[in-house]
Amino acid sequence: MTLSVNQWLGKLLLHDRRAVARLISWVEDNQEQSEIMRTVRAQSGQSLVIGITGPPGVGKSSLVEALTRVYRQSEERVGIVAVDPSSPYSGGAILGDRIRMQAHGTDRDVFIRSMGTRGHLGGVARSTADVLRILEAGGYPRLLLETVGVGQSEIEIMRLADTVVVVLNPGTGDGIQAIKAGIMEVADIFVINKADMPGAERMKNDIEMMLDMNGHGGRAWRPPVILTSVLEGKGLHELIDEIARQQAFLSESGTLIIRRQEQLQREVWQHLEDRLKEAFDSLWPALPTEWLTEGHKDPYQLVDKVWQKMSGHKREGGNT
Partner 1 sequence: MSQPRIRVLVGKPGLDGHDRGAKVIARALRDAGMEVIYSGLHQTPEQIVEAAIQEDVDVIGLSILSGAQMTIFPRVKALLKEQNSEDILLIGGGTIPDEDIEVLIQSGDAEALFTPGTPTGDIVAWIKERLGVDSPPYEHA
Could you list the residues that contact partner 1 (CB under 8 A)?
Answer: 1, 17-18, 20-22, 24-25, 28-31, 86-96, 98-100, 102, 105-106, 108, 111-114, 116, 118-121, 277
Question: Residue 14 or residue 99: which is nearer to partner 1 going by CB?
Answer: 99
Find the shortest distance in angstroms from Cβ 121 to partner 1.
7
Question: Residue 121 or residue 303: which is nearer to partner 1 going by CB?
Answer: 121
Alpha helices in 47-92, H assignment, sequence order: 60-73
**Contact of 160 with 145, CB cutoff 8 Å:** yes
Report the alpha-carbon angle 212-162-38, nearest 5: 160
Question: Residue 88 or residue 299: which is nearer to partner 1 going by CB?
Answer: 88
CA torsion, ordered 248, 253, 259, 262, to nearest 10 deg: 170
Question: Residue 120 or residue 204: which is nearer to partner 1 going by CB?
Answer: 120
State the Cα–Cα distance between residues 277 and 320, nearest whole angstrom: 16
Find the shortest distance in angstroms from Cβ 157 to partner 1.
18
Alpha helices in 138-199, H assignment, sequence order: 157-160, 175-179
Find the shortest distance in angstroms from Cβ 199 to partner 1.
30
**Contact of 85 with 115, CB cutoff 8 Å:** no
State the Cα–Cα distance between residues 314 and 93, nearest whole angstrom: 42
Instruction: Specify the DSSP class assigned to residue 154.
Output: -
Question: Residue 113 or residue 204: which is nearer to partner 1 going by CB?
Answer: 113
Per-position b or e across 275-304, b if 16+ CB within 10 A of its CB? eeeeeeeeeeeeeeeeeeeebeeeeeebee
Kindly tell me the sign of the dihedral angle through the C-alpha atoms of 200, 237, 257, 55: positive
Find the shortest distance in angstroms from Cβ 60 to partner 1.
16
Question: Residue 83 or residue 192: which is nearer to partner 1 going by CB?
Answer: 83
Count of Cβ atoms closer than 10 Å to residue 313 Cβ: 12
Find the shortest distance in angstroms from Cβ 174 to partner 1.
34
Question: Residue 34 or residue 293: which is nearer to partner 1 going by CB?
Answer: 34
User: In DSSP terms, which residues pair with 227 in a beta bridge?
Assistant: 192
Question: Residue 108 or residue 297: which is nearer to partner 1 going by CB?
Answer: 108
Residue 191: enclosing H or E segment and its boundaries? strand 189-192
Task: Write the CB contacts of 162 (distance below 8 Å, at least 6 apart in sequence).
Answer: 48, 49, 50, 51, 247, 250, 256, 259
Question: Residue 129 or residue 165: which is nearer to partner 1 going by CB?
Answer: 129
Find the shortest distance in angstroms from Cβ 23 to partner 1.
9
Find the shortest distance in angstroms from Cβ 28 to partner 1.
8
Find the shortest distance in angstroms from Cβ 183 to partner 1.
21
Find the shortest distance in angstroms from Cβ 68 to partner 1.
14
